[in-house]
A and B are shown apart, each in its own frame.
Chain A
């Protein structure tokens, strides 16, 4: 645990400060996009396709226009006149804003109804009649590459198949050689299914175009307001929306989890309509639209292989991924990494041969591929390596904890070069797993398990010892549409010693208003409660790439520390002037400079700041402000050791999580209470894909669980008691030694649960079940393996 260097009053790092933002959230005073009401505002609703693949024969708006309150209906043909019917995706693919002739997935936007109230817009939507000519959709990503499959992207000249890209990392030859000579080879086909972030707040916006001043204010649910401003300028620059005339405001956000990074057609339609009619236009999705049309996450089919010795040493791994991207590649990844950071899949283990390759394909499913609480495909990678590791242990008859201990990268071997090219900054994996085993009482649990198995009862213990890769990222490799993935902080300290700090990131519930203030408090000694944090308004905040992929603390948090240190340098000069000593004679202790050897001669930060406005040294710039754009030298590599204990009812397949111990190592901790809250939430979002969630499509392209009646989101009832703890291995390159934690539990949790369930079922010879592992799947596997045979 991080030691507190500051007093409770200052509230720097390590203090469990109550969240400053909660005062408004718990009193119903949060201000979300749907709370925005502007004079003369119109409402938009969207007609969506019932077919996964169809030609649009006609759109009849006659009845819709008769609905009282309906102003207009906007179709793709209308947008085509302004060349606004297509837009680029973050991965440089193209996506329809509204279709002119063909729909490519069920729930795709077909046309938009604009009315004076949201009820009139919905009634108008019901009255629009669209005539379709359905076609047979391509739903199976494996069949998508079949030469007989229809080419879906006929809009792309010369496109002859449904292949999007191929990507690879590691050493193919070397890996093949190790596999050829290995004692033991494990091979498993896995599907990490298509799921959805299901944030409490759906997506929406209010687009407000001022025709007189040629200025657009866009209030929207976005995790990356600056990037959005640039994208709008790129998409709509040709109709006069240049970047200085665009202001993007991201108000309070009710959960993002990556789902509020992409630009959805609804936003662009709202902008186009506001531009055309000169009035503010509000668009808010309903729950089903959010679930059915917004970006999915995961959907990787992985062939995972591991080679090892019969003594349990891992020698090599190999992964082949088929990525189902839906009808366009609208994933949210850094541009050079179409597979995200999946190549972290070699895990926490010391070996030097690995090969990863991937192909992405088009199908008639909604587009997406967002980093759902995950640093770009790390969840898929961790599921693959942690399942493989467990299968290896089972195969050679070794305890999975012992096998992991045997294979871990040793703490003295950091920085460690991974076989796919990453440089892990720091870690102490043995300490983490040992702590988790001590907390859970591992040896006693194994003994209990053996006794239960002898009685025919099903109990399982599952381990996941994961390494994450977060904090994208260094400008050498990381950009989105060419914009480097730095992030920023701007600190202004007022004459009375209170401050406002603005950032290029955007909290969606992470608690930035508290944690950023704590970093500045730590560095400058100004009490955190006197530091106001602002984000989300592109007119005031410095440019940054936003909050996702656990990047805020590694990038903007670092920027806050570095900007604070710039201010401390200035403070030293002012203090030397005020105390009439040389700068070198001064020493810093949180909140003040004092003369070496004469601690009674000192100036507090508040006195120094006041002097910066009232009595600054001649020749020095007045005021007390600093800005920093932080370009990280490397990514950070948080890790964790999770142990899950399950009991399974053999007759029904019902799974009960009895214990879940999560030991995280996220480096130095800013606010332990917020970290614990992040881990609780993240673990619940780990139970979700492990046991409940999957977006299911049939062969005709229908989504079969497009409402929360059928798409199962775990609630408090399904959540076990979480037992959390920490080890602390600071990042050596991060200014405050922090690594990021928000995503570790979502990433590391699912394999711990899956491994526990498979462990419980292993006496029957069951070696793998794809997530979500439901009672039905358990019962079916048991039946197939003869568990019910008399």
Chain B
């Protein structure tokens, strides 16, 4: 099943600083909850692992991350990831597009993420995937901002807190 999420946010950092972090695999992957880099194949290709948890369903994906576009002139980048479940229970594909624009001395960040999930996770977690992905993406944005500010980045997957904030969202509490 497919899901697309788009986020736009503003940071008080120069476009070059933001660009440097967004296109640095070590830095950007560190901001993705549950993700880690395991091997650098070449400048554009990296091997990595991602853990996902949707309610009771957990999946670990291993795969390849590729920068298919990194245009410093227009500040546009595209990152493609393909992975398979380490137990052969399915696969996932992800395309992330990032675009930066200078604004009021800071930078507007526009990121969209398109995910396609196949296999057991899609079967059992289809009703949760949108909400959980949204929460994971929010966590990514917070991490990315923290990293720019030179603060500690928490890249662990907060499945519990994600579920908690979803429930709060549903029952009308303030989203974290």
Contacts and interface: CB of A to CB of B under 8 A. Distances in A.
A706 B1 CA distance: 14
Given A700-B2, A702-B122, A50 B85 contact: yes
Nearest to A698: B1
B88 A129 contact: yes
A431 interface: no
Contacts of A622: none
Contacts of B89: 50
B118 A701 contact: yes
A130 B2 contact: no
Given A129-B87, A130-B88, A710-B127, A51 B118 contact: yes
Contacts of A705: 126
A134 B122 contact: no
Given A707-B124, A710-B127, A702 B118 contact: yes
B119 interface: yes
A177 B125 CA distance: 53
Interface string A40-55: 0000000000111000
A699 interface: yes
Contacts of A703: 123
B116 interface: yes
B2 to A, nearest CB: 7
A126 B87 CA distance: 8
Interface string A95-121: 000000000001000000000000000
B118 A706 contact: no
Interface in A673-700: 698-700
Given A129-B87, A131-B84, A707-B123, 8 more contacts: A51-B118, A131-B88, A700-B2, A702-B122, A702-B123, A704-B126, A705-B126, A706-B124
Listed residue (A50, A703, A705, A706) with the most chain B CB atoms within 10 angstroms of its CB: A50
A132 interface: yes
Contacts of B123: 106, 292, 702-704, 706-707
Contacts of B120: 50
A707 B1 CA distance: 16
Contact of B122 (A126, A130, A698): A698
B58 to A, nearest CB: 13
Contacts of A132: 84, 88, 91
- Place the interface of chain A in its size category: 20 to 34
Contact of B91 (A50, A128, A707, A710): A50
Given A698-B2, A699-B2, A704 B122 contact: yes
Contacts of A131: 84, 88
Interface string B27-43: 00000000000000000
Interface string B91-123: 100000000000000000000000011111011
B124 A51 contact: no
Nearest to B123: A706
A335 to B, nearest CB: 35
Nearest to A292: B123
Interface in A150-197: none
A50 B118 contact: yes
A702 B123 CA distance: 6
A234 B168 CA distance: 61
A702 B119 contact: yes
6 contacts: A51-B90, A129-B88, A132-B88, A700-B118, A710-B126, A710-B127
A196 B84 CA distance: 30
A83 B90 CA distance: 30
B1 A704 contact: yes
B123 to A, nearest CB: 5
Nearest to B119: A50
Contacts of A52: 118
A704 B119 CA distance: 10
B124 A700 contact: no
The 3 closest A-B pairs by CB, nearest first: A50-B119, A702-B122, A50-B90
Listed residue (A51, A129, A292, A710) with the most chain B CB atoms within 10 angstroms of its CB: A51
Interface in B101-160: 116-120, 122-124, 126-127
A378 B12 CA distance: 67
